[in-house]
Chains A and B, each alone.
Chain A
Amino acid sequence: MKALRNLVDKVKPTFAKGGKLEKLHWVFDGLETFLFTPGHATERGAHIRDGIDLKRTMSIVITAMIPCLLFGMWNVGHQHYLALGQFMELGDGFWDKFLFGAIKVLPIVVVSYGVGLGIEFLFTSIKGHPIQEGYLVSGMLIPLVMPVDTPLWMVAVGAAFAVVIGKEVFGGTGMNVVNVALTARAFLFFAYPTMMSGDKVWVSTSVEEGQKVVDGFSGATSLGHAASGAIDKVTPMMQSFWGFEAGSIGETSAFACLIGAAILIITGIGSWRIMLATVLGGSAMAALFNWVGPQIGNAYMQIPILHQLMLGSFMFGTVFMATDPVTAAQTDTGKWIYGFLIGAMAILIRVVNPAYPEGMMLAILFMNVMAPLIDHYVVQANIKRRLKRAALQTA
């Protein structure tokens, strides 16, 4: 470490004020503080500080997403070969599937980080503030919520839009109003609808010579089937739970999301209140539909509660998107309301709205915007309680 430290110290003046590469100072600073937690000692107040910092926090969220990423890679390959009619059994061709998925997915990850971090570097250099860790998580979330066949240029445009409009215009990390990764997803969804929804994008059907897609193949997701009334084609629940179905790269496996949830809850990085509230909200709405469905003869409404939660991006959104501490409600009471409404609204949009087969993204974005209002009322209640206390005492 000494050698590395010496090297860093040796090149440091080049990036300092007056140095040759002065403009890249904050980029250098970002790399230096990545390698070495700075020797900033406390000056006043609490002389000792907790070991946690934003870098560690963010890297734990990324760790929590790794099961989704790895499973997603395999599933991309799995779905691809199913479409070609090869390796039909789950256990067959593991490495072929994984390799195919990796070749498809890794470039998206690289482009997401490359473009997003590049723009962050640009902003830090122009605005003269340190690189803040925010994009570390967004950079991984963006690939995981994309359909596998998203062109790389589109990923780049989405990431750029997210960083600039979703975050930097609000002042950077910690200041954004809506979830950065979802901003990218929503932008692409509305800008390039044919590439982001429908039944052509979820399974990679690129073929090499001598291969062809099997007859009668449909690339629709379970939710696509359900929305079009083909309830019988919805993936069975256990299959949805493990994630053997078409969908966004990292979102299909409820199981992988649950591993992530466990990591986030045990470390205390992700709010269990929001996760639980979202699940409760989704369950409540699904239960309501279960009750109403038979009376009006709507089959979609009758999908069992648990199954609803396993489908689409519900679990992924619950664990990784709704819990984004910056855009979620900040107060404990607020978190319950916020999460509950996300869950309820996601199922509501999904089942009732004819235009969108999935509602999680819109539900979270909508509640991101509402979160400050929820917090406002929670805090107002606190203020009222305190004023009442004062009145009681003087009375």
Chain B
Amino acid sequence: MSNTIRIRKGLDIRLKGEAEKVLVQADPAKVIAIKPTDFHGLVPKVLVKPGDKVKAGTALFADKYNERVLYTSPVSGEVADVLRGEKRKVLEVRILADAQTEYEDFGTGEPGSMNRETIIQKLLKSGAWPVITQRPYDIVANPAQEPKAIFVSAFDSAPLAPDLDLVVRNHGADFQTGLDALAKLTKGKVHLGVSDKTAAREFLDAKGVTRHSFSGPHPAGNVGVQIHAISPINKGDLVWTVSVQDVILIGRLFRQGRFDASRTIAITGSMARNPKYVRTVIGAPLKDLIGGVEGKVRVVSGNCLTGSTVGADGFLGFYHGQVTLLPEGDTPKFFITDGWATPGFNTFSANRSFPTWLMPGKKFAPDTNQNGEERAFVMSGQYEQVFPFDIYPVQLLKAILANDIEQMEKLGLYEVAPEDFALCEFVCTSKINSQSIVRAGLDALKKETT
């Protein structure tokens, strides 16, 4: 095993509501929804209409500008609705699920004996392709290109993140097959990033990959950090990334010949009634999984730093393996009791002006209040403490705000995704929404260069 790469900068946010290591099978969902909005920049061309019968793996919509990329149904049933928002933007395609899922047959096969184009065809047709995302731009990969390498992070360091050792359990063969398929997609290497605490043999004994061990606080588990440490992205480079769950999904496609969108989801957060692991499918209604909520609770599909608010009636996002329930914080806070002048024994902060830095074992249940108002950049050096890239984050953000494309390129925008700035956004005194800024920068850069 290679030497452990130590990530020194970062922050572990200590939160209440970790999922108990119990896995339960969720009841089959009655309605599921696939959201084109989960795929950044996608303009969907809807291929079904209400009333159509679909199987798991039947295409629901395609990328308007790259029609080979199909987005397919995770279950079988009847298309119930195509929900649209402003300017007729497609928000959701809802499907009434059958009690027994029927699958389209894509044929089994050993990826080792298949060529690159056949594998790509199979992934595209089945709807498994969108699980592959690319950097730069953090979007669904383009099947017409070839990446210099593919990266898989085998641990998630985000707050309350699911333990991927547990997720991969009993799916070792699928995971390995998935890796074999990925290995065919690049002439470069498939890099698997494990943590120094990873114990799962499925990860440690994975074949055909280059394994790297990481230690340190979040964001050590972010694939972007791992790419930066192993083989940084320069201008003109292209790398692909796939999550562990999605490698398993790809593996299943080859071993069983079907698009089986099952997922293991961690239900987490201080407002979760029984935080645990649940086996369900992509697009499942969260209401069934979290058992209903009372009062002001924010339901986030994903983790509390990068996930999206979906509401109690919302559906699981395409890329998410976690649901987080947080207390809503939309009420004013009196300055002495719990506002800015509070001693703050219950406030987690990266800043030592709160006494909680002296309580290293304590866990917190923060609400979603912004804890202050947006200001200009005042404090310096804050982002740098939680940002383990050889990149100047504030300067990069300022280049984006100034819309200076050349400077963005030089300062390293190719290497980052919004999620890499999540901790910067968390610690920011001036409450600057850096993830949105990075996303806007990536969009501008993409528009300018392609």
Query: Which of A39, A48, A383 interacts with B330 by CB under 8 Å?
Result: A39
Q: Which residue of B lies closest to A4 (CB)?
A: B334
Distance to closest chain A CB from B242 (angstroms): 23
Bound-complex Cα distance A332 to B385 (A): 11
* A residues less than 8 Å from B418 (CB atoms): 45
A25 to B381, CA, bound (A): 34
Q: Nearest chain A CB to B392's CB is how many angstroms away?
A: 6
Do the beta carbons of B347 and A51 come within 8 Å of each other?
yes
Segment at the interface with A among B107-115, B195-203, B215-223, B427-435:
B427-435
Q: With a CB–CB cut-off of 8 A, which chain B residues contact A379?
A: 392, 395, 411
By CB atoms of chain B within 10 A, which of A175, A268, A325, A394 has the most? Answer: A268
A164 is an interface residue with CB less than 8 A from chain B: no
Task: Check if A38 sits within 8 Å of B373, measured CB to CB.
Answer: yes
Interface pair A54/B430, CB less than 8 Å apart: yes
Q: How far is the CA of A387 from the CA of B392 in the complex (A)?
A: 15
Verify if B208 is at the interface (C-beta below 8 Å from A). no
B336 to chain A: closest residue by CB: A1
Contacts of A46 in B (CB 8 A): 304-306, 422-423, 425-426, 435
In chain A, what residue has the closest Cβ to B332? A36
Q: Which residues of A contact B337 (CB under 8 A)?
A: 1
Question: Distance (Å) between the CB of A268 and the closest chain B CB?
Answer: 5
**Which candidate, B139-147, B253-261, B321-329, is the interface stretch facing chain A?**
B321-329
State in angstroms the CA–CA spacing of A328 and B380 once bound together: 9
* CB of B308 within 8 Å of the partner chain: yes
A45→B370 contact, CB < 8 A? no
A330 at the B interface (CB under 8 A)? yes
Which of A40, A52, A132, A385 is the one whose CB lies under 8 Å from B351?
A: A52
A residues less than 8 Å from B425 (CB atoms): 45-46, 49
Contact digits for A110-138, partner B, Cβ 8 Å, 1 yes 0 no: 00000000000000000000101110000
User: Which of chain B's residues have a CB closer than 8 A to the CB of A17?
Assistant: none
Q: B376 contacts A37, CB within 8 Å?
A: no
A151 on interface, CB distance cutoff 8 Å: no
B298 interface hit (Cβ, 8 Å): yes
- The distance in angstroms between the C-alpha atoms of A267 and B394, with both chains bound, is 21
**Is B88 on the interface with A (CB-CB < 8 A)?**
no
Q: Are A48 and B367 in contact (CB under 8 A)?
A: yes
A50, B349: Cβ atoms closer than 8 Å? yes
Interface contact A48-B366, CB-CB below 8 Å: yes
Instruction: Report the minimum CB–CB distance from A10 to chain B (whole Å).
Output: 14
CB-CB contacts below 8 Å: B225-271 with A: 231-232, 234-235
Bound: A55/B349 CA distance, A: 15
**Residues on A with beta carbons closer than 8 Å to the beta carbon of B379:** 57, 269, 325
Instruction: Indicate whether B1 reaches chain A with its CB closer than 8 angstroms.
Output: no
- Asked if A37 and B352 sit within 8 Å, CB to CB, the answer is no
Which of the segments B91-99, B119-127, B338-346 contacts the partner chain?
A: B338-346
Residues of A with C-beta under 8 A to B66: none
Interface centre among B324, B375, B433, B434 (most CB of A within 10 A): B375
A50 B371 Cβ-Cβ under 8 A: yes
Q: Does B205 contact A (CB under 8 A)?
A: no
Query: A102 at interface (Cβ–Cβ under 8 A)?
Result: no
Q: Which residues from chain A contact B315 at a C-beta distance below 8 Å?
A: none
Q: Indicate if the CB atoms of A47 and B326 lie closer than 8 Å.
A: yes
Contacts of A271 in B (CB 8 A): 380-381
CB distance B353 to A45 under 8 Å?
A: no
A329: chain B residues at CB < 8 Å are: 380
Chain A residues with CB under 8 A of B427: 50, 52
Q: Known contacts A56-B340, A57-B353, A60-B353: does B378 contact A41 (CB below 8 Å)?
A: no
Q: How far is the CA of A46 from the CA of B386 in the complex (A)?
A: 14
Q: Check if A45 sits within 8 Å of B376, measured CB to CB.
A: no
- Chain A, residues 122-166, CB within 8 Å of chain B (1/0): the string is 000000001011100000000000000000000000000000000
Tell yes or no: B368 within 8 A of A by CB.
yes
Q: Which residues of A contact B411 (CB under 8 A)?
A: 379, 382-383
Chain B residues near A387 (CB-CB < 8 A)? 410
Residues of A within 8 A of B329 (CB): 39, 41-42
Contact status of A386 and B307, CB under 8 A, knowing A56-B340, A330-B394: no
Q: What mask results when residues 262 to 290 of chain B are scored 1 for a CB within 8 Å of chain A, else 0?
A: 00000000000000000000000000000
| A57 proximity list for chain B (CB < 8 A) | 351, 353, 378-379, 429
Q: Which residue of A lies closest to B335 (CB)?
A: A35
Hey, which chain A residues are within 8 Å of B375, CB to CB?
54, 132-133, 173-174
Check if A393 is an interface residue, CB within 8 A of chain B.
Answer: yes
A281 to B89, CA, bound (A): 60
A48 to B381, CA, bound (A): 21
**What B residues does A40 contact at CB under 8 A?**
330, 369-370, 373
- Once the chains are docked, how many angstroms separate the CA of A36 from the CA of B332? 6
- B41 an interface residue at 8 Å Cβ cutoff? no
* Alpha-carbon gap, A173 to B306, bound state (A): 29
User: Would you call B101 an interface residue if the criterion is a C-beta within 8 Å of the partner chain's C-beta atoms?
Assistant: no
Is B63 close to A, CB under 8 A?
Answer: no
> Which A residues between 361 and 377 are near B, CB-CB below 8 angstroms?
375
Q: Which of A35, A43, A266, A385 contacts B352 (CB 8 A)?
A: A266
Provide the bound-state CA to CA distance between A34 and B341, in Å: 9
Which of B324, B344, B431, B436 is the one whose CB lies under 8 Å from A47? B324
Contact present for A45 and B378 (CB under 8 Å): no
Instruction: Verify B430–A267 contact, CB threshold 8 A.
Output: no
Please indicate which of the listed interface residues A53, A271, A326 has the most CB atoms of chain B within 10 Å of its own CB.
A53
B332 touching A50, Cβ below 8 Å: no
Q: Across the interface, which residues of B come within 8 angstroms of A171, CB to CB?
A: 376
The residue of chain B having its C-beta at the shortest distance from the C-beta of A393 within the complex is B234
For the A-B complex with A44-B308, A331-B392 known, give 20 more contacts whose Cβ atoms are closer than 8 Å: A1-B337, A5-B334, A35-B334, A36-B332, A38-B370, A41-B368, A44-B309, A44-B436, A47-B300, A48-B326, A49-B369, A51-B349, A51-B351, A51-B366, A52-B354, A56-B340, A130-B373, A271-B380, A386-B234, A386-B390
The 9 nearest A-B residue pairs measured at CB:
A53-B372, A174-B376, A390-B234, A51-B347, A36-B332, A37-B339, A45-B435, A55-B340, A52-B351
